Amino acid sequence: MTANIKEFPGISLNEQDFADGKILYNFDKLNGLYAWDTGIGIGSYLASLKNGVILGSHCKTCRKVVVPPRTICEWCFRPMDEFVPLKDTGIVNTFSLCYVTWDVQRIKDPEIPAVIDIDGASPMHGIMHMLGDVDPQEVKIGMRVQAVWKPTSERKGSINDIQYFKPIEEK
């Protein structure tokens, strides 16, 4: 049918049309504030972060240690058996060198988000965080990294209690 149709609907505007008042428009902003209940799993995760510990949880049935910790194993649908404190070291599973912030501001020095497989968790089980103290061009998948924590007094029970992960010096 596209062969038979000459004209498709859809009127394209450019930013100038808005600036010049050629078309009518308005703005609005959602005042959407939330206080999400943290529950047992994530509540404990946040409390551990405040103490400088990355917490996982262990499913005996699936023989898995996962992070962030949850109370339910999504694979066998049984309750998780125990919390497991993990190390604050790990391996870079993957990463990016990002030159754009979340609200699309261009930046000169890239942010380096990564998935870090945490030592003590099952293989391919990691968390997303940032890498720092590293030359962006030196970052490699498979690189070993360690968490750089905020000082105890500044920790709030948040994923941001870890400032970033930095490479572990090879001995």
Partner 1 sequence: MALLNRDPNSPVVWNGELPITNRYTYGLAGEKFFRTLKDEGRILGTHCPHCDQTYVPAAIFCERCLAKLDDWVDVGTSGEVNTFTFLQVNLNGSPLEKPEIIAFVRFGDGGLIHRLGEITPDQVEIGMMVQAVFKPSSERIGSILDIDYFKPV
Partner 2 sequence: MGMRKVAVVGAGMTKFVRRAQETPKELSWEAAHMALESCEMTMDDIEAVCLGTAPDAFDGIHMNGEYLSDGAGAWRKPYMRSYVGGGTGVFVPIQGWYHIASGLFDVVMVVAEEKMSSYYPHAQAAFLTIFDHTTERPLKPNLLWIFAMEMNRYMTTYGISKADIAQVAVLHKRNAADHPCALLGDADITLDDILKSEVLAWPVQRLDVSPVSDGAVAVILAAEHVAKRITDKPVWIEGVGWHLDTGYWTNRDLAYPRYVEYAARMAYDMAGIKEPRKEIHIVEPYDPFDYKALHHLEGLQLAERGKAPELYSDGTASRTGNMPVCPSGGLLGVGNPIAAAGLMKIAELFWQLRGEAGARQVPGQPRRGLAQAWGDLMQVGTVVIMGR
Partner 3 sequence: MQERVAIVGVGCTGFRSITPESSYKEMVYEAATRAYTDAGVDPRRDVESFVTVAEDFHEGTSIFDEYTPDQIGGALKPVHTITGDGLHGIATAYMLIRTGQFDIVAVEGHSKASNIKTLPEVTAYAQDPVLNRPLKLNSHFIAGLEMNRFLFETGTSHEHCAAVVVKNRYNALNNPVAPYGADLNLEDVLSGSMLSWPLGIRETAEHADGAILMVLASEDKATYLTDKPIWILGAGWNNDSAALENRDWAHAIYAEEAARMAYRQAGINNPLEAIDIAEVDDTYAYKELQALEALGFCREGEAGILTVEGFTSPDSGLPVNVSGGSLGMGNLLEANGLARAYEIVLQLRGEAGVRQVEDVNIGLAQSWRGVPSSSGAVLILAN
Q: Contacts by 105-113 with C-beta closer than 8 Å and gap 24+?
A: 109/136, 110/136, 112/136, 112/139
Helix or strand run (H / E) with residue 40? helix 39-50
Q: Which is nearer to partner 2, 77 or 170 (CB)?
A: 77
Phi, psi angle pair for 15, to nearest 5°: -60, -30
- In the list 7, 15, 20, 74, the residue contacting partner 3 (rule: CB under 8 A) is 74
Between CA 152 and CA 155 the distance in angstroms is: 5
- In the list 79, 94, 133, 154, the residue contacting partner 2 (rule: CB under 8 A) is 94
Please give the residue ranges that form the binding site for partner 2 (CB under 8 A): 1-5, 8-15, 23, 27-28, 30, 34, 36, 38, 42, 45-46, 66-68, 70, 74, 93-104, 110, 113-115, 124-130, 141, 158-160
Please give the residue ranges that form the binding site for partner 1 (CB under 8 A): 11, 13, 18, 23-44, 46-48, 50, 57, 69, 71-72, 79-83, 157
